[in-house]
Amino acid sequence: MTSLSVYPDPQTLTEWRRDFHRHPEIAFEEQRTSDRIVEILREHGLDPVTGLGGGTGVVATIEGNRGAGRSIGLRADIDALPIEELNTFDYRSTTPGRMHACGHDGHTTMLLGAACALARNPDFAGTVHCIFQPAEESEGGARVMVEEGLFTRFPMEAVYGLHNWPGLPVGEAAVHDTAVMAAFDVFTLTLSGRGCHAAMPHLGTDVVLAACQLVNQLQGLVSRETPPHQSAVLSVTQFHAGDAYNVIPETVELRGTVRCFDAALKAKLEQRFRDAVDATARFHDLDVAFDYQARYPATLNTPAQAADCAEVLAALPGITHVHRDLAPSMGSEDFAFMLNERPGAYIWLGNGDSAALHNPAYDFNDAIAPLGVAYWQALVRHLLNR
């Protein structure tokens, strides 16, 4: 990768990032993280708005020195995960059961660096809003910010995000024209019957048998009812039942997720899921408590904004290849809520040969922080100086 000359310097970016890594905070609890973001922004002459997105979100606005123009938003997520870190380096998490296992410490650092650099040299026309968003991991901090009036308080024509991507070499990036990440639904299902002695199953209703049959049946919703050219994943991730060898329990609880890209398919899968649950309950004479929640919509880029990002990346020193044909991920991202309100694009930046996201051995690659800072600045100048 070509060496980049950026401000703030790479050593400062590394220090910021590793400080965030040492002090991870999960959804809506990111108070220290938020305070540190504000401190750095103020040190560089900015006056950020605080207390957003449930209390820990921050927005810093930078006005260009070339006069009036368009307005855009740049977003970074700031929260960590409830994971016990297995790394042993000196900047590992100091908080038990908390870890930056998805690289949000790096995303925060890159946007901080870009905000400071743009404040130092605002040679563009228009306005940039730097959005530091809490609670991306499953709790919908982006949705909260939108509901609190993010786009009313900070008008912007388009919004942009990025994520580091393990396995994609350093110096490479990926830009999708439309689908980037899948929609994300969760479910909790409880089947209740009559418990009995394991030696006398005819005296009860076997909820374990019914639940096992249902798990198998649900896979057919994807393998036999979903068109092969459309992607979907239904995963039962938890199965809780019983406490004794010789007792058929009265209840079983299943939990899991459903993911896809197409809104119509998403609605169909939910309805067919409910049909399968009702049929199983009737056949086995069971009671049902079913909680199905739509969490995140699909993350869908708008093609024009994606093309702008690809053009900027292709011309950026340090970028050796921009992928335009990588398959989208079945993972999910609450940046989707922002893209539902404004056009924009979400790109992947190669993190190299690191552990996977959400793995206890993961670490953000500090070598790509200067590249992210340079990308944000180049994107701003590309969009706001034309």
Q: Do the Cβ atoms of 349 and 170 come closer than 8 Å?
A: no
Given CATH 3.40.190.10, say whether it is the number of domain 183-296.
no
Give residue limits of the domains in the chain.
10-181+298-384, 183-296
Task: Render pLDDT for 203-231 as a digit per residue (tens, 0 to 9).
Answer: 999 999 999 999 999 999 999 999 999 99
What's the rounded mean pLDDT across residues 347-369? 98
| pLDDT at residue 138 tops 90 | no
Digit-coded pLDDT (tens) for 45-61: 999 999 999 999 999 99
Query: What is the rounded average pLDDT of the residues 100-121?
Result: 98
Could you tell me the pTM of the whole model? 0.94
Residue 352, strand partner residues? 166
- Are the beta carbons of 360 and 211 closer than 8 angstroms? no
- Judged against a pLDDT cut of 50, whether residue 3 lies above it is answered with no
**Does the pLDDT value for residue 1 go beyond 80?**
no
Model pLDDT, residue 51? 97
Q: Does pLDDT of 316 surpass 70? A: yes
pLDDT tens by residue, 185-199: 999 999 999 999 999
Using the predicted structure, report yes or no on whether residue 2 has a pLDDT greater than 80: no
> What mean pLDDT do residues 70-91 have?
98
Q: Is the pLDDT of residue 6 over 90?
A: no
Is the bond into 227 cis (omega within 30 degrees of 0)?
Answer: no
Topology (CATH level 3) of domain 10-181+298-384? Aminopeptidase (3.40.630)
Instruction: Please tell me the predicted confidence (pLDDT) of residue 5.
Output: 63
Residue 4 is predicted with a pLDDT of 57
Mean pLDDT of 274-292: 98
Average pLDDT over residues 245-274: 97
φ/ψ (deg, to 5) at 286: -120, 155
Contacts of residue 50, Cβ cutoff 8 Å, sequence gap at least 6: 34, 38, 57, 58
| Torsional class of 142: left (φ above 0), alpha (ψ -120 to 50), beta (otherwise) | alpha
User: Coil, helix or strand for 238?
Assistant: strand
Query: Would you say residue 37 has pLDDT above 50?
Result: yes
Percent of the chain with pLDDT over 70: 99
